[in-house]
């Protein structure tokens, strides 16, 4: 039986200058990354994922497509473009107020590509967890420099993995260190996924396998730092686990089930 599900996506491009009004090709490059990463078709899989972790790596069986109909039923490319006056700060709602409101978030995954203020070091984008499903702000906001693989995409976040990571959050996934990035063993130091070893915080850049640097419990294979839900560079993340897939399937049959109808 076919268990692959399709999620319709609308892209809202918010720009101040023409350079930020990213091309259709750049948007397509991001969609292509999602459709490789969520089907375990990413070509860097065998090089980046150590063989000991390949067996627990999941084909998430999710496909993303550009919306073909607007909420009122008109034909659309799935891309909306709008000129705005200012950048967006982490967590504010300028992307809605001055930007472009969500299309019915119970029916579409809304992605806003805008200009994030530089004062939040390390924020490449943010997404809302399934507990915000259907809210006016529900979806994913991304800086135009960390989106897709062409055009304005900027190394080391130029392989589209910010989107892969953030949509993981949208689908219910947490970081391997849970809500707590210091206290191993605490109740909040848990992502609710058994096959992702707990860590006391993120790995960055491109660690060497095996690493127990941030592991809560040292093991021969160490942390799965090459997971999409960690903080390593785009080129150094290449897998979800079977446990993460099970959690996402619960989201898709629960709080985000309306995306499929
Ligand atoms: N820092 C962001 C977050 O916490 C995303 C990190 C994405 N990493 C990447 N290599 N693109 O959600
Ligand atoms: Zn994250
Ligand atoms: Ca875990």
181 band by pLDDT with thresholds 50, 70 and 90: confident
Q: Annotated catalytic, 166?
A: yes
> CA angle at residue 167 from 173 to 177, to 5 degrees?
30
Q: Is the pLDDT of residue 82 over 70?
A: yes
Q: Is the pLDDT of residue 120 over 50?
A: no
Q: Is the pLDDT of residue 222 over 60?
A: yes
Q: Tell me the average pLDDT of the chain.
A: 95
**Ramachandran bin of 153, using left for φ above 0, alpha for ψ from -120 to 50, beta for the remaining angles:** beta
Residue 243 has a pLDDT of 98
Specify the range with the lowest mean pLDDT, choosing from 81-90, 98-107, 151-160, 234-243: 81-90
**Ramachandran bin of 42, using left for φ above 0, alpha for ψ from -120 to 50, beta for the remaining angles:** beta
Nearest CA, atom 11, ligand 1: 162
**Ligand 1: does its nearest atom lie under 6 Å from the Cβ of 225?**
no
**Ligand 1: does its nearest atom lie under 6 Å from the Cβ of 122?**
yes
* 169 CA: nearest ligand 1 atom: 12
Give the pLDDT confidence of 83-105 residue by residue, as tens digits. 998 888 877 888 888 889 999 99
Ligand 1 centre and the CA of 125: distance in Å?
7
Residue 97 has a pLDDT of 84
Beta carbons within 10 angstroms of residue 30's beta carbon: 27
User: And the tokens for 55?
Assistant: 């067996």
In this prediction the ipTM stands at 0.94
Which residue of 37, 124, 171, 205 sits with most ligand 1 atoms within 8 Å of its CB, as the best mutation to test the pocket?
124
Ligand 2 centre and the CA of 166: distance in Å?
6
Which residue of 37, 123, 162 sits with most ligand 1 atoms within 8 Å of its CB, as the best mutation to test the pocket?
162
Residue 93 has a pLDDT of 86
How confident is the model over 156-176, as a mean pLDDT?
Answer: 97
How confident is the model over 3-19, as a mean pLDDT?
Answer: 96
**Ligand 1: does its nearest atom lie under 6 Å from the Cβ of 162?**
yes
């Amino acid at each position: 039986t076919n268990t692959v599900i399709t999620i319709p996506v609308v892209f809202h491009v918010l720009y101040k200058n023409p350079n930020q009004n990213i091309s259709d090709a750049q948007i397509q490059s991001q969609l292509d990354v999602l459709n490789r990463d969520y089907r375990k078709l990413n070509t860097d899989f065998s090089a980046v994922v150590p063989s000991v972790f390949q067996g627990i790596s999941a084909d998430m069986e999710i496909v993303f497509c550009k919306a073909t109909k607007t909420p009122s039923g008109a034909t659309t490319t799935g891309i909306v473009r709008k000129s705005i006056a200012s950048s967006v700060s982490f967590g504010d709602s300028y992307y809605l107020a001055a930007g472009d409101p969500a299309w019915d978030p119970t029916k579409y995954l809304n992605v806003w590509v805008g200009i994030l203020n530089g004062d939040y070091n390390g924020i490449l984008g943010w997404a809302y967890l399934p507990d915000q499903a259907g809210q006016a702000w529900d979806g994913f906001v991304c800086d135009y420099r960390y989106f897709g693989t062409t055009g304005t995409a900027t190394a080391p976040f130029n392989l589209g993995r910010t989107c892969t990571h953030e949509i993981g959050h949208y689908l219910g996934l947490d970081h391997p260190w849970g809500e707590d990035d210091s206290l191993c063993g605490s109740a909040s130091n848990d992502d609710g996924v058994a096959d992702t070893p707990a860590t006391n915080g993120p790995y960055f850049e491109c660690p060497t396998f095996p690493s127990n640097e941030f592991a809560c419990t040292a093991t021969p294979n160490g942390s799965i730092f090459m997971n999409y839900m960690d903080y390593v560079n785009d080129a150094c993340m290449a897998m979800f686990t079977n446990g993460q897939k099970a959690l996402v399937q619960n989201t898709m049959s629960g709080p985000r089930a309306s995306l499929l109808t």
